[in-house]
Structure 1
Amino acid sequence: MPPSAAADSACSPPDGGWGWAVVFGAFISIGFSYAFPKSLTIYFKEIQEYFCISYSDIAWLSSVMLASMYAGGPVSSVFVNRYGSRPVVMAGGLMVSVAMVMASFGTTIMHLYLCVGVLGGLGLAFNLQPSLTIIGSYFHARRPLANGLAMTGSPVVLFTLAPLNQFLFDSLGWRGSFLVLGAIVLNCCVAGALMRPVGQILQPRAAPQSLSGGELSGGVPTDGGGKSQSCLRRFVDVSLFRHRGFLIYLIGNVIMFFGFFAPVVFLAPYAKQQGIDEYSAAFLLSIFALVDMFVRPATGLVGNARRVRPRIQYLFSFSVAYNGACHLLCPLASGYAGLALYAVFFGLAFGMLSALLFEVLMDLVGAPRFSTAVGLVTVIECGPVLLGPPLSGALVDIFGEYKYMYYACGVFMLVPGIFFFVMHYYNYKKLDEERRQSAAVVMRTSEEAA
């Protein structure tokens, strides 16, 4: 049995070596986790006509898959803490493969909800959280760069799957395509095999403290008393809800995710409403994905800079507020040139946010507690992820225009961006005070001992 994630995090991160192979595996695994639900939308029209269902019925398929991926976070974290990342990622790839094969024989839309939505979404959860967790075990000094490179997998895989799905759809229809996709997603098992536990190659030492205070920032120390407490912490680390940095991240993200996905989903329909042909409208998404693809690793490099890394939360706050400003200005864009310019700036903003989304959480709580923290965050976020796009679509139905939806999403992004700026300023100030107090106590203890 491989060492657990907890054991991995107690080892000195090598910041390179085999860690780059792990980043490549995470690149594939994270790429499939985020791109797979989006790429399946190309089959929706034929599935809708085959089962004679409404637009809202077919739209729930990808929403259920994303919600299941987020809701499965705590379950994935439990298995990662118990068995390590490698077997969990491999099991997740196998689950998604089985789900797609079973869905290809579906006779009702409910069959697809259960197979693609629930089982497939849970399999994607088993791919996402372990990949994020093991990067923290292999990297510390270069962790923002490693996370940025791994998160680049999402636009790259989406950019690859989009034309591939169109080819499969034209050649095999949706049933045959689902069978082929079931085989393709087995690459996640190969990616998981690369995730060798860091404890197999390094000697353990004290876990490194995060640059934003990690366990200092409002965390509650444990006394190690009792096997029952340690078992409870393995499943749910309730002390995180008394962790100042974690609560700041959680509150802001819950608000933010109401406006996170809808602008991407409705970009092409909004362009068509402006009188732009469907091929040009679809190309806006390609512009967005291309910019996103290059911005994520670039953001990792910036976040790894010596002057940025100690205050990386400010960079994340800026990226959230920048997304909100883009959406608020989007209705002012006129013609195809204006929307193309919006797609460029939106891709820049979205790429910055996505590259930092989990890095800043790890920076706040520390690598040892990251697995549990990301599980708690994702299960709470599954509500906004599930409800955000339908609520945004309701605004379009009520007003008959997309601009009010973009205004709403802009507010949902701008408000948490400002919230993050204010609260992280407060958090950094408190952390500096706590460090000075700790240093004074250590110095006083040393003088008394002398």
Structure 2
Amino acid sequence: MTTSKVILEPPNGGYGWIVVFGALLINMVIKAFNSVFGLLYGPFFRSINVAQSDISLVMNLSSFFGSLASIFTSAVLKSYTVRQVAVTGCFLISIGMTLSSLTVSVYQTVLAYSVIGGFGFGLLVNTSLIAVTSYFTTNKKRAVSFSLTGTGIGQILLPQIVQYLNSNFSTNDSIMIMGGLMLNGVIGALLFQPVEKHLKPRTIDETQSLTSMTPMSIDIPPAVNEDNTSFWRKFIKTMDLGLLEDSRFIILNFVLACGYAVATDFMLILTFFLKDTKKLEPSQTATCLSVLASFDLISRLTFHFITDWTSLSSRQILVIGIFCLGIIKTTMTFLTSFESILFAISIYGYFRAVVIVNQIIVLSEHCAKYYPRRFAGALGLNMAFCGISTLIFGQLFGVFRNYVSDFSYSFYLEDIFIISAMSIWLIEYLYHLRN
């Protein structure tokens, strides 16, 4: 006689859509801020006569401490709920930005914005994604995609908000007000109720496999028996450091990290390029940033329809996207009219989303092929690669800008750098193809 058993599983909707809205709100006000960093902090850095290398240091250290915090997020979540960690991250970001409005030197800004704010941002990198995915099974991709549209919406709205603040308030007051605006993320974080409160019962046959019914689909490294292994081996297994033994994984993450460093540096200096090199008005600069974000959002919603018609792999699409971004950046340096620059910016925004989306897909496909069920650890290591790369190479870009007065040369250096990194990837691909 067949017996039945009742299990609890995610609602695959229901209150989960409220959680999606909370993640969307966080993405809209916090994760979208990097696109307007130069627009908000540019006048402040000019007022204290900061060198370009020091401006880069603030942004690069913020990325570094964010990556450092994100690595240990999974360990923190074993003791605290997703909502507690997310709320803490939002408060740290707000506190860091508010304190930075009171600083009078770049090193004080580093302590406030980069260390405190960067660590808070790192706590938010994975928690909002974990909150969303824990509520869904078959609708997971749709839920994640909807929550990520918040970043695009924020990148459209924030340039206009920052431009309004810069026009009506002092530099320090504008930064302080923006720090207060970051607290809106707390509203979204408070919506992250534990999924255990919303699990739904389901009756199954006792002989039915429970593998697909696991409430949480987060890839967490398995527990280690402390009686049979050393602390160091436990740490390596928990953090999935064994992945670093594979040269293909290292080269893949190196290339992705180089691309991340270039993208971060470009967004950092884009505002200065438009205002100082191209002599655009502040309102025109804000319009360019909003248009870039608009086409980024359009790309996220439409590009998968285009890729479905081709037989190109995610890695090939990523390579094409990176080369297109390089061509567009170089072309932009020769444009003079606002209309032509705006057109180039819109194309750049479209291909930027292609690159960002396919970076994660390429990493996940590599793990699915060689390291099934180890994507979470691979993602954490990828963030570490990105943080270190941004700190080292991003700072070198800043030092280079200390000796050139035209930001166009920074674009050329970025292109040479990423082409060199891609060449390493090509050599690795051809080597494994022959063997």
| Cα offset, 1:38, TM superposition | 4.0
- Over 3 Å counting, the alpha-carbon distance change for 1:396 and 1:91 in structure 2 is closer
Contact 2:324/2:351, CA 8 A, preserved across alignment: no
1:48 aligns with 2:45: yes
1:250 aligns with 2:253: yes
Partner of 2:323: 324
Partner of 2:385: 380
Contact 1:129/1:374, CA 8 A, preserved across alignment: no
**Aligned-partner residue type, residue 342 of structure 2:** A
CA offsets 1:192-216 (integer angstroms, 9 cap, x no match): 222233344156942689xxxx99x
| Cα offset, 1:127, TM superposition | 1.2
Could you tell me the percent identity over the aligned residues?
19
Query: Per the alignment, in what secondary structure is the counterpart of residue 72 of structure 2?
Result: helix
| Cα offset, 1:338, TM superposition | 4.2
Instruction: Choose which of 293, 297, 303 in structure 2 pairs with 1:293.
Output: 297
Partner of 1:106: 103
Partner of 2:396: 391
Q: Name the Cα RMSD after superposition.
A: 4.3
When structure 1 is superposed on structure 2, of 263-272 and 290-299 the one drifting more is 263-272
| Cα offset, 1:348, TM superposition | 0.9
Instruction: Choose which of 159, 162, 165 in structure 1 pairs with 2:162.
Output: 165
CA offsets 1:392-439 (integer angstroms, 9 cap, x no match): 3555566765555434433554566687799899999x9xxxxxxxxx
| Cα offset, 1:68, TM superposition | 1.9
Looking at structure 2, the residues matched to 198 and 346 of structure 1 have their Cα atoms a distance apart, in angstroms, of 39
Looking at structure 2, the residues matched to 347 and 392 of structure 1 have their Cα atoms a distance apart, in angstroms, of 22
**Aligned-partner residue type, residue 68 of structure 2:** A
Partner of 1:124: 121
| Cα offset, 1:346, TM superposition | 1.1
Note the 1:47-446 alignment, pairs <5 A: 47-48=44-45, 50-139=47-136, 141-200=138-197, 201-202=199-200, 205-206=210-211, 225-226=225-226, 232=235, 236-241=239-244, 247=250, 249-271=252-274, 275=278, 277-279=280-282, 280-299=284-303, 314-315=313-314, 317-332=316-331, 334-336=335-337, 337-358=339-360, 361-362=363-364, 365=367, 369-395=374-400, 402-413=407-418
**Aligned-partner residue type, residue 298 of structure 2:** F
| Cα offset, 1:93, TM superposition | 0.8
**Aligned-partner residue type, residue 25 of structure 1:** G
**Aligned-partner residue type, residue 126 of structure 1:** L
Looking at structure 2, the residues matched to 348 and 184 of structure 1 have their Cα atoms a distance apart, in angstroms, of 28
Contact 1:43/1:169, CA 8 A, preserved across alignment: yes
Contact 2:55/2:398, CA 8 A, preserved across alignment: no
Looking at structure 1, the residues matched to 20 and 427 of structure 2 have their Cα atoms a distance apart, in angstroms, of 33
Contact 2:260/2:386, CA 8 A, preserved across alignment: yes
When structure 1 is superposed on structure 2, of 278-287 and 118-127 the one drifting more is 278-287
**Aligned-partner residue type, residue 280 of structure 2:** D
Contact 1:96/1:121, CA 8 A, preserved across alignment: yes
Contact 2:40/2:175, CA 8 A, preserved across alignment: no
CA offsets 1:7-65 (integer angstroms, 9 cap, x no match): xxx98565433333332222232344433344343343443355454444344333322
Looking at structure 1, the residues matched to 190 and 365 of structure 2 have their Cα atoms a distance apart, in angstroms, of 26
Looking at structure 1, the residues matched to 314 and 263 of structure 2 have their Cα atoms a distance apart, in angstroms, of 18
Contact 2:101/2:176, CA 8 A, preserved across alignment: yes
| Cα offset, 1:244, TM superposition | 8.6
Looking at structure 2, the residues matched to 301 and 135 of structure 1 have their Cα atoms a distance apart, in angstroms, of 24
Looking at structure 1, the residues matched to 404 and 100 of structure 2 have their Cα atoms a distance apart, in angstroms, of 36
Structure 1: unaligned runs, 5 residues or longer: 1-9, 431-450
- Over 3 Å counting, the alpha-carbon distance change for 1:102 and 1:265 in structure 2 is closer
Contact 1:241/1:247, CA 8 A, preserved across alignment: yes
Structure 2: unaligned runs, 5 residues or longer: 1-6, 203-209
TM-score by length of 1: 0.73
Query: Per the alignment, in what secondary structure is the counterpart of residue 250 of structure 1?
Result: helix
- Over 3 Å counting, the alpha-carbon distance change for 1:99 and 1:272 in structure 2 is closer
Contact 1:300/1:355, CA 8 A, preserved across alignment: no
Contact 2:33/2:155, CA 8 A, preserved across alignment: yes
Contact 1:268/1:284, CA 8 A, preserved across alignment: no
